[in-house]
Amino acid sequence: MHRLLKYLKRLAVAVLCLVVILAAIYYIPFPPPHRVPTAVYQTSDLKFPKDFFWGASTSSHQVEGNDNSNWTAWEKKNAARLAQEAPSKFSNLAIWPDIKAQATNPQNYISGGADNDYNLYPEDVQLMKQLGLTSYRFSIEWSRVEPQPGQFDQAAMDHYKNLVALLRQNNIEPFVTLWHRSQPVWVDQQGEWENSKTIQDYVAYVKFVTQNFGANVKYYMTFNEPALHLVGGYIEGVIPPEVKSLKRGQAAFANMMEAHRQAYGAIHTLNPDAQVGSTQAMQLGSGAPNTILNMAAASYFDNYANWKFLDGTKDTTDFIGIQYYSPTKYQVTLGGKSKVSFKTFNDPNASVKSDMGWEVYPHGIYEVITAAYNRYKKPIIVTENGIADQNDKLRAQYLADHLYWVSQAIKDGVPVKGYMVWSLLDNFEWDKGFWPRFGLVAVDYANNFKRTIRPSAYSYKQIIDNNR
């Protein structure tokens, strides 16, 4: 009896300790992460090597218009729902009064003619020239080039060859993304990246493109932000292919890595001078509040998003494409119907925010560039960085401040080879439609896609001119 009492007492103490530890993990916040304040610098501090690539990025589905990709099909099914959900998702944004009519209109969620860049690309190349760009990152729309399995459309491929020829005539280096979210409907129908047959199909498509470009294209990116495909498409299940299963997502992700490795070999065989990489959406996470549990979630997901794909492909990558916009907050909630729920969001208290509510934190680009370089020792190219800013109030400062930190990374010995603004043009922002305005060049959708260069684009040009 006495021993039993003693045992029960010990058990009670152990349970109590466990409860205290769990409560501490769940409730006690550590101070928020240290934020390096925006730097004070002179324009002359923005120093870059002479051969630095100055560019802007786009992707096919977001600018070309009228493709038959899986996204086009998805939009038709989801536009009404997205319009209905808009108030609950965006009414907390400062620009809500300006965008309300557009964001609650289903038409906003249909890419349709997008920017009509498929027809207006000669004008767009002239805009690049006018802005002094020396590189342009764009993607090939797989659904145009291979509309049916194994049937390649030479005329569609010739479109991209013409674009490349025009870029070359204007001394603009083409950077080709081979997969930027959109893909043929038949790829989705066969189970997309979960099906290992998609690896062979993708490699066949990549060979066709590489053969066609020959020596005219040197820089290739196999995949744009593959981890976001895993998160949005397979974990949250809110974008194609709308699956909600981590296990299935991991299988798809592994196949994407294998597709990268095989594509890397295929491109190098066809073009020994090629430089092949991929681009990653770099996360800079912290907990909100910064409890041990939230911090652990931030570190787990940052690791997955930033490094998992690169760790699996590091021996088959010539450079690393870094895409950075803003830090992310992570919050884990215990209890409720699903026992554990998890959300990521932007710091609502950030002092400077984009139209989309994304915190502006320029030093972050230095943090992610140096972390990637220290981990892999490969050249870095910033393949996306930019801001949704419809009134062009923040963009010039945003670009200069981020470029300052890129120049500091170079000064500290990191071989950063180029910087591409997202985006050359306002464009179709996936499940948010047309209201986020990322362009160096504004597009007037009500007026025949009229392009107007924004003042911030001239500030960017000034930095380019100072360095050439």
Tell me how far apart the alpha carbons of residues 152 and 134 are, in angstroms, rounded to a whole number: 31
* Closer residue to ligand BGC (CB): 56 or 266: 56
Minimum distance of ligand BGC from residue 429's CB (angstroms): 5
Minimum distance of ligand BGC from residue 454's CB (angstroms): 17
Minimum distance of ligand BGC from residue 192's CB (angstroms): 18
* Closer residue to ligand BGC (CB): 46 or 180: 180
In three state form, how does the secondary structure of 102-128 look?
HHCCHHHHCCCCCCCHHHHHHHHHHHH
Among 210, 217, 340, 336, CA closest to 265: 210
Q: Which residue has the tokens 């965006």?
A: 90
Tokens in use for 270? 């066809």
Residues 318-337 within binding reach of ligand BGC (CB under 6 A): 323
Phi and psi torsions of 196, nearest 5°: -65, -15
CB-neighbour burial class of residue 180 (10 A; exposed 0-12, middle 13-18, buried 19+): buried
Tokens in use for 34? 């240290």
Minimum distance of ligand BGC from residue 92's CB (angstroms): 18
Phi and psi torsions of 412, nearest 5°: -85, 10
The answer to whether 381 and 417 are in contact (CB under 8 A) is: yes
* Closer residue to ligand BGC (CB): 99 or 281: 281
Minimum distance of ligand BGC from residue 423's CB (angstroms): 7
Minimum distance of ligand BGC from residue 179's CB (angstroms): 11
Minimum distance of ligand BGC from residue 27's CB (angstroms): 33
Residue of 46, 48, 59, 221 interacting with ligand BGC (CB under 6 A)? 59
Tell me how far apart the alpha carbons of residues 296 and 294 are, in angstroms, rounded to a whole number: 5
Looking at residue 320, its amino acid is: I
> Which residues, other chains included, contact 264 with Cβ-Cβ below 8 Å and sequence gap of 6+?
222, 276, 313, 316, 317
DSSP 322: E
* Closer residue to ligand BGC (CB): 330 or 422: 422
Site string for ligand BGC, 408-447 (x = CB under 6 A): --------------x------x------------------
* Closer residue to ligand BGC (CB): 286 or 427: 427
Q: How many other C-beta atoms are found inside a 10 Å radius of the C-beta of residue 31?
A: 7
* Closer residue to ligand BGC (CB): 241 or 439: 439
Residue of 108, 198, 210, 224 interacting with ligand BGC (CB under 6 A)? 224
* Closer residue to ligand BGC (CB): 194 or 355: 355
Among 379, 204, 358, CA closest to 283: 358
Residue of 157, 256, 281, 464 interacting with ligand BGC (CB under 6 A)? 281
By CB under 6 A, tell whether 58 contacts ligand BGC. Answer: no
Residue of 117, 225, 347, 355 interacting with ligand BGC (CB under 6 A)? 225
Residues 149-208 within binding reach of ligand BGC (CB under 6 A): none
Can you tell me whether residue 37 is helix, strand or coil?
coil
By CB under 6 A, tell whether 384 contacts ligand BGC. Answer: yes
The answer to whether 288 and 300 are in contact (CB under 8 A) is: no
Minimum distance of ligand BGC from residue 120's CB (angstroms): 19
| List of residues contacting ligand BGC (CB under 6 A) | 59, 62, 224-225, 281, 323, 384, 422, 429
